[in-house]
Structure 1
Amino acid sequence: MTAPASDAARTRGRLMLIALFVLFFGSAFGAGVLRFSGWMPAGLKNHGELLQPPVDLRAVSPRLASGGAYAWNPEARVWRIVAVAPAAGCDARCPQLLAQLDKVWQLFGHNADQVEVLWLGPAPDAAARLPEVRLLLDDPALRAALPRSADPAGIPLYVVDPNGFVILRYAPQADPAGLRSDVARLLKLK
């Protein structure tokens, strides 16, 4: 026969059970509060504006400046960065943006073949010499499909997934490093 537990041992056991309960359910409650308050770790936030719902471009058939049609081709798993230049023509910002997009594309390294840069509208002369840039003919239907494409502040950028859905928008003069990190994260998706 065992001796009954002392009051001190019983109290210590109860406190241990309460501490384990608070530790388990308190952390679950804290995580729930953070999740439903909208908090997200900085490493998981987009730099661009997430478009909800994504814009479906599959029905739009862009034309290349070289004369052919540009196919979305989802089997190729190519992500696209779309730059929408002002229809009235480019100013000094266009060559600067083109150089930044070229640098971003080069920083993708071995994943660069999974990213294309589409330039809609009048393009700087240097665009024809860059292998990643596909020059598109100015298409009013494509411009109308892209949210806030006629931004008076400059040239907005868009990220289009391999299926032809616009998922992110970057305001004019957005930091290209944010674009690079967002697309690099998307390239890791299979």
Structure 2
Amino acid sequence: MARHAKIPRMSHSVPDADRTARGRLVLVALFVLFFGSALAAGALRFTGWMPAGLRNHGQLLEPPVDLRQARLQLASGEAYPWQPQARIWRIVVVPPASGCDAACTTLAAQLDKVWRLFGHNADHVHVLWLGAAPAGAAQLPEMRVLRDDPGVRASLPGASDPAGVPLYVVDPNGFVILRYAPQSDPAGLRADVARLLKLK
């Protein structure tokens, strides 16, 4: 009678060293993936780095300048109210108090073009010109010519810039949040305000 050969039984009690090592590597990789990316993001945030698409073109004012109590008046003498519920963003132009030259005429034309590029959101942007505006600028639909106000002028950082005419962005509540140096590229202003207009 033939004897059946006994097949040795595999013991499952002894762990497979290679499989254990691979499992540990997977756990380490998952740890690095989740916690490493969080640490990297925190480090970038701490150093102030931001993606180019989210970076402001204008100088962020910290803290913002509070103009809510400023009593702005149009050139006609009427009050210019903030009306936060209307969600109007403002671009404030601060030319020299002594007067404006041909550069201001060019700037008014550039701002008109920027305003028109806002499309259906253009009605939510006013351009406030502090003091005398160049010829024809007052007729632009977005333009609000204000009486010069030394108090407002003094509260705006860098308003008396010898390099030219600075621009400012004011939020719907009356806080000045961005400053643009003289001769700044209007495309940067347009990009910043267009992003702000998307805020609810």
TM-score bin, normalised by smaller chain: over 0.9
Q: Does 1:120 align with 2:130?
A: yes
Question: Between Structure 1 and Structure 2, how many residues are aligned?
Answer: 190
Match of 2:52 among 42, 47, 54: 42
SS of 2:128's equivalent?
strand
TM-score in terms of structure 1 length: 0.95
TM-score by length of 2: 0.91
Query: C-alpha separation between the residues in 1 aligned to 2:38 and 2:68?
Result: 42
Aligned-residue CA RMSD (Å): 1.3
Letter in 1 for 2:126: E
Counterpart of 2:32, as a letter, is V
- Paired with 2:192 and 2:100, the residues of 1 have a C-alpha distance of 26
Aligned pairs for 1:21-170 within 5 A: 21-170=31-180
**Structure having the higher Rg:** 2
Structure 1, unmatched stretches of 5+, are none
Q: Give me the whole-angstrom Cα distance separating, in 2, the residues matched to 1:132 and 1:6.
A: 75
Q: Percent identity?
A: 71
Residue 3 of structure 1: aligned partner: 12
Q: Is the contact between residue 86 and residue 122 of structure 1 (CA under 8 Å) also seen in structure 2? A: no
Q: 1:13 aligns with which of 7, 23, 40?
A: 23
Match 2:182 to one of 162, 172, 188: 172
Which segments of 5 or more consecutive residues in structure 2 lack a partner in the other structure?
A: 1-9
**Contact 1:118–1:134 (8 Å) recurs in 2:** yes
Deviation at 1:121, TM superposition (A): 1.3
Once the 2 structures are TM-superposed, how far is the Cα of residue 2 of structure 1 from its aligned partner?
A: 6.5
- 1:24 to partner: Cα distance: 2.1
